[in-house]
Chain A
Amino acid sequence: MSTDARKPPAQIALRIRRALGGKAGWNGVAVQLGFAAVLGWIGYEIIANARTNLETQHIAAGFGFLRNNAGFDVNQTLISYTGSDTFLRVFVVGLLNTLVVSLVGIIFATALGFVVALCRLSPNWLLSRVGEIYVEIIRNLPLLFQILFWYLAVLAALPNPRASISLFGLVFVSNRGLVIPRPIGEAGFEPFLAAAAFGILASLALRIQARRALFREGRMIRIWPYVLGLLFALPLLTMLVFGAPFALELPQLKGFNFAGGARIIPEFVALTLALSIYTAAFIAEIVRAGILSVHKGQMEAGSSLGLSRGTTLRLIVMPQAMRVIVPPLTNQYLNLTKNSSLAVAIGYPDLVSVFAGTSLSQTGQAIEIIAMTMGVYLALSLATSLVMNIYGARLNRSLGA
C-alpha cells in the first residue's frame, strides 16, 4: 500500500533535462536554449534583411503572384490547365508531372534493378556477365548524358506524325509521342466500375481469408476460380446487362498532329527510361549486396528441403535480404525523385521547368519560387523516407529482429 501512496518525481522536467542538457544538467539546457535563440535570431535577420533590401531595390516580393495569370501553356497536364490559369495552378501541374515521372521511374527502376541483381548472381556465366556489364556501364556514365541520349535516340528513331507507325489503326507511334485510343464513359460506365471495384475488394478479402486458414489451421483453400470469376465474369455480366461501359475515341491525323485519343509525350518516355535505367544499376548492386549478406547456408538449407532455387530465393533469402536492402534502396528512390529535375534539359514540363523556370523568369521572384520548389523536394523526400522506414520497421518486426 505504501508504494501506491508515494508521489512520482516530476518526470517531465527530468526528461527535458536529460534530453537537452545531457551530462551537463540544467547548465546544458540553458546553453541549448541560448543556441536555439541565436539560430532563430540569425534566421530572422536574414529574412528581414532580404525583405528590406528587396523593397529598397523595388523588387516585387511576397506570394501574391501565385494568384496572377500565368499566360503560358504546358504540354503535359494531368489536371485541366490553360494559359489563363494562375501560377498556383502551374505549381500544381508541375508538381504532378514531377510526381508521375518519379513514381513510374521508381517502379521500373526497382523491377529492373532486381532482375539485373538476380542476373549478376546467376550461376549462368552469360547472364551474370550481362548483369555485370550493365551495372558497370550505366552507373559510370553521367545521368544528364543518358537523358539526352535517350531523348535524341528516341526522337531520331521515330518518324514524323504523317508517317507514323500504326498498330491496327488504334495505336500510333511517332515523334509526337505514343497516341492511344481514349476510353470515354457511356451509360454502362458506373455499374461497370462498381462491379470491378467489388470484384477487386472481394478477391482481396478471399485472399486474406485463405491465408488465415493456411496459417491458423493449416488448411489450403483453392481460391483462384472464385477470384477469376469476381475479377472478370462479374464485370462482363454487368456489361451484358447495362451495355458497353465506354466507347473508344480513336486518334486521327488532322493537320500536323493527332486529334482525339490520349498521348504519352516522348519527353516523358525518355526521362522515365533514363531515370529508371540509371537508378536500376545502383539498385541492382544494393539488391546483390542484400542477397549476399544472407548466409549461404540458408540457400543450402532450402535446397536440402527440396525447394527450387526460385522458391528458396522468394521465401527464405529475400525476406532476410530485404532488411539490408531497404535503407539504401530508400536513398536511391530519393535520388531518382531529385534527379527528375534534370527534365528541363529535354523540355519535360516538371516542377523545376515550369515553376522554377518559366514562372520564375515571368515574375522575377526568385527567392519565393526557389523556396517553394525546395520545400516540395524536401517534403517529397521526407514522405518517401517515412514510407520506407515504416516498411523497414514492419519487415524487422516480422523477422523478429
Chain B
Amino acid sequence: MKRVTLVLTLALAAGLTSQTATAQTLKTVKDRGILSCGVSQGLPGFSAPDDKGNWTGLDVDVCRAIAAAIFNDPSKVKYVPTSAKDRFTALQSGEIDVLSRNTTWTLSRDTSLGANFTGVTYYDGQGFMVKKSLKVNSALELNSASVCVQTGTTTEQNLADYFKSNNMKYEVIAFGTNDETVKAYESGRCDVFTTDQSGLYANRLKLANPADHVVLPEIISKEPLGPMVRHGDDQWFDIVKWTLFAMVTAEELGITSKNVDEKAKSDNPELKRVLGTDGNFGEQLGLTKDWVVRIVKTVGNYGEVFERNVGSGSPLAISRGLNNLWNKGGLQYAPPIR
C-alpha cells in the first residue's frame, strides 16, 4: 500500500510539473549523469542482483547498452526494481527513463499507458510448471488444478482464456511479487506455477530441488518482451530502439566485444558505417559517431548478451530458438544502419 501511495504521489507530482520532463529525456539523463532504468525485483537471467549487489541479466544489459551509448560507461545506470503492477506507473511518472523488465508487448499497453514499446529483446510464450510427482504430461490434464500466478501480468488473462477455451476449471491464487508466488508454489498451495517460459526456467533454479519440477510442453501465448519508453519523446524512443538494433546488427556482422577494435579498422563499407568511421549515424540519433563501438565493446552484441545471461553460458541454458538471428532460423532482425 505504501508503495502504491508513493507511486501515486509521484504520478500526481509529474502531472503537476509541466511537460518538460517528458520531452527531453536524453538531455535530462545527460544532465543527471546517470540512466534510471526500471527492472524486475529479481528474475535470474533477465534482471537480478548477484551476491555483491550488481545487477545482471538480459534486461539489465539493455540498460547498460543504452548507458554505454550515451556515456561510454555501462555502469552509469541506476536500477529501480519494480513490481509487475507498479512498473507502468513508475514509467509514466518519470521515476525511470526506460522500463526494461520482461514486459509483454500488447496493443492496449502500447496505446493506453502513454508509453511505447521499442522492440523485442526476447520472444517468449507462457508455459506451466508442475511437480514431477503429479505425473502430468500436458497442460490439458490440469482440470481443477490450483494455479499460482503473479498479479498484474498478461499471464493472468492468458490463464483465464486458456482454461475457459478448454472447458477446464481451475483456482487462481495471485501474489504481489514473483518471490511470493514461487514460495506459495513450493509450499504446495498450488499444483501449477505459470509465467513466461523463460521465467519458469529461471524460477526453477530458485527451488530447493529443481529436478523435482517439470515445465510442460504447451506454450499458450505469444509473449514478445521488450523495453518501454514514455510516449511523446521520439528522439529517446529512437535511441532505445536503435540500441537494440545495433546489438543485433553487430551479431549479424560478426562484431563481438573482443574484435570490435579490429573490425573498426576494416575497409568493409558496411562495417565502416556501423562502427562510425564513415557517416554520422550516431549523431543523427543525438549520440556520438562511435555509438555502436561503445555498446559492443562494453556490453557485447545480442548473441553474446543472450548466451551470457540466459543461454549456454548461464545456468538457465535456454536455446536460442525464436531468438536466433533471422538468417539462422529465428526472429531477431534489425533494419539496416545506413
Contact = CB atoms under 8 A, between A and B. Distances in A.
Contact of B145 (A60, A256, A360): A256
A341 to B, nearest CB: 5
Nearest to A341: B1
B8 A358 contact: no
Contacts of B161: 71, 83
A59 B4 contact: no
B174 A349 contact: yes
A155 interface: yes
A341 B86 CA distance: 16
A308 interface: no
Interface in A47-66: 49-50, 53-54, 56-60
B112 A59 contact: yes
Interface string B138-176: 000011111010011100110111001000001111111
B19 to A, nearest CB: 6
Interface stretch (B40-48, B183-191, B212-220, B317-325): B183-191
A58 B232 contact: yes
A155 to B, nearest CB: 5
Nearest to B116: A58
Interface string B232-265: 1000000000000000000000000000000000
Contact of A361 (B111, B114, B152): B152
Given A46-B12, A367-B8, A353 B176 contact: yes
B176 A345 contact: yes
A358 B12 CA distance: 21
Contacts of A160: 188
Given A259-B144, A360-B152, A367 B113 contact: no
A59 B152 contact: no
Interface in A2-18: none
B328 interface: no
B181 to A, nearest CB: 8
B157 A362 contact: yes
A267 B184 CA distance: 11
A398 interface: no
Interface stretch (A72-80, A95-103, A199-207): A72-80
Contact of A75 (B4, B111, B173): B173
A364 B113 contact: yes
A314 interface: no
Interface in B54-95: 84-89, 92
A380 to B, nearest CB: 14
A230 interface: no
B88 A361 contact: yes
B272 interface: no
A266 interface: yes
Nearest to A159: B188
Nearest to B16: A49
B189 A175 contact: yes
A75 B159 CA distance: 13
Contacts of B160: 71-73, 83
Given A73-B172, A175-B188, A175-B189, A358 B1 contact: no
A366 B8 contact: yes
A156 interface: yes
Given A56-B232, A58-B232, A367-B12, A361 B187 contact: no
Contact of B232 (A57, A360, A366, A370): A57
B101 interface: no
A250 interface: no
Interface in A75-99: 75, 83
Given A56-B232, A155-B187, A257-B145, A363 B112 contact: yes
A347 B85 contact: no
B7 interface: yes
Contact of A360 (B1, B85, B157, B191): B85
B189 A155 contact: yes
A175 B15 CA distance: 46
A54 B14 CA distance: 10
Contacts of A342: 1
A254 interface: yes
Given A155-B187, A361-B152, 18 more contacts: A46-B12, A54-B114, A58-B231, A60-B112, A72-B157, A83-B160, A156-B187, A176-B189, A256-B134, A257-B144, A257-B171, A341-B1, A345-B180, A347-B184, A353-B176, A356-B4, A357-B174, A364-B113
19 contacts: A49-B15, A57-B22, A57-B92, A59-B231, A74-B172, A75-B171, A75-B174, A152-B187, A155-B184, A175-B189, A256-B191, A257-B145, A344-B175, A347-B148, A347-B173, A353-B174, A358-B152, A364-B114, A370-B5
